[in-house]
Amino acid sequence: MTDVAKLARVSHQTVSRVLHDSPNVKGETRERVLAAIRQLNYRPNSVAQALVTGRSRVIGVVSLDTVHYGPASTLLGIEEAAHNAGYAVSITSLRSRSRTSVLDAVQLLRDQAVDGVVVIAPHITALEALRRLPPDLPMVAVGAGSTNAVPVVAVDQIGGAKAATQHLLDLGHRTVWHLAGPADWIEAEQRISGWQAALKQAGAPVPALLRGDWSAHSGYELGRQLLEKPDATAVFVANDQMALGLLRRLHEVNREKPRQISIVGFDDIPEAGYFTPPLTTVRQDFAEVGRRCIHLLLEQIEGTAKTKEHVLVPIQLILRQSTAAAKAR
């Protein structure tokens, strides 16, 4: 910094103000300092800055199952929001879903002196770990159900499932079948709750759910069971990948979509509009999830947080060609 100040003919305090984007620097002076920084290829020492400010400007993220679209997209949304706020991101992937694994991952990040931690916790087994996290560490959980242990940001899974189911009922279908996600996923259980609530509110029969594992293969295999139900004319599928597998199975037996059976997915993956037929689905705004997470975390870091908030991010039902009015009986 002293070398930059000498080359730019300013004090080292002025260099510091430029580096911290202070408005109290004249435009000409600022440009001279920035030119000197470029010429000398100067990089601030983050360790030294952290010692002075008490902040590392690094946010830790604990994540698991990033091979799945939802958690992976959530992670990207958090990274983008953190970078826009001037923070770097350090990611720790869990080796297992156990409480100990979550606590160890948080401690690892804490040892790196991160300013706060976001836990992407879509599994029921992670809830107990959240209740045991150190209270003095700024923390936000994503998709952690209704826990009051830490602030939570989540997509409105129940509302999304209700919207998908109600859309099919509004098309005149007597009831709606459901291909559910794994039982240990909070979001899968919330989508089941939304599906059941919409059917009960409409006075429609509630069929036995069929349980998958998020994969297209499981949707394909569950399609075999669904074809044994002659009255199945509408299906809400817990994610788009399973919907893809179901569409494949129906294609193989020449069941026309949507004339004979209507399908709604969940996620709106980039390929959903290119399925055959293009898939009606529930879109999750992962960028907004990231922004809300970082906003809540920075409030804690800066000491302005008031309560342990629970933020719900709204969904959007995307209508395409995989749903149609029920055939007259």
Is position 319 within any domain? Answer: no
**Which pLDDT score is estimated for 61?**
94
Tens of pLDDT, residues 229-282: 988 999 999 999 999 999 999 999 999 888 899 999 999 999 999 999 999 999
**Same domain for 256 and 174?**
yes
**Which pLDDT score is estimated for 145?**
75
Bin 246: left if φ > 0, else alpha if -120 < ψ < 50, else beta.
alpha
Please count the structural domains in the chain.
3
**Same domain for 78 and 227?**
no
Residue 283: pLDDT band (50, 70, 90) is very high
Model confidence at 103: pLDDT above 90: no
**Helix runs in 253-312, H state only:** 286-301
Q: For residue 95, which of 84, 87, 104, 86 has the smallest C-alpha distance? A: 104
**Same domain for 240 and 300?**
no
Model confidence at 52: pLDDT above 70: no
Model confidence at 227: pLDDT above 90: yes
Tens of pLDDT, residues 152-161: 999 999 999 9
- Tell me the residue range of the domain where 149 lies: 55-154+285-313
**Which pLDDT score is estimated for 49?**
56
By the 10 Å C-beta count (0-12 exposed, 13-18 middle, 19+ buried), 211 is classed as middle
**Same domain for 190 and 229?**
yes
Is position 49 within any domain? Answer: no
Is position 210 within any domain? Answer: yes
**Same domain for 209 and 260?**
yes
**Which pLDDT score is estimated for 306?**
64
Q: For residue 60, which of 99, 3, 104 has the smallest C-alpha distance? A: 104
Measured between alpha carbons, how far is 54 from 32 in angstroms, rounded to an integer? Answer: 29
Tens of pLDDT, residues 195-208: 999 999 999 999 99
Angle between helices 286-301 and 69-84 in degrees, nearest 10: 50
Is position 50 within any domain? Answer: no
Who wins on pLDDT, 328 or 38?
38
**Same domain for 1 and 18?**
yes
Averaged over 134-151, what is the pLDDT?
83
**Same domain for 63 and 126?**
yes
pLDDT-above-70 percentage for the chain? 95
**Reported pTM:** 0.82
**Which pLDDT score is estimated for 45?**
63
Who wins on pLDDT, 129 or 220?
220
Measured between alpha carbons, how far is 134 from 145 in angstroms, rounded to an integer? Answer: 19
Measured between alpha carbons, how far is 235 from 214 in angstroms, rounded to an integer? Answer: 15
Q: What is the CATH number of the domain that holds 23?
A: 1.10.260.40
The answer to which of 53-62, 131-140, 157-166 has the lowest mean pLDDT is 53-62
Is position 176 within any domain? Answer: yes
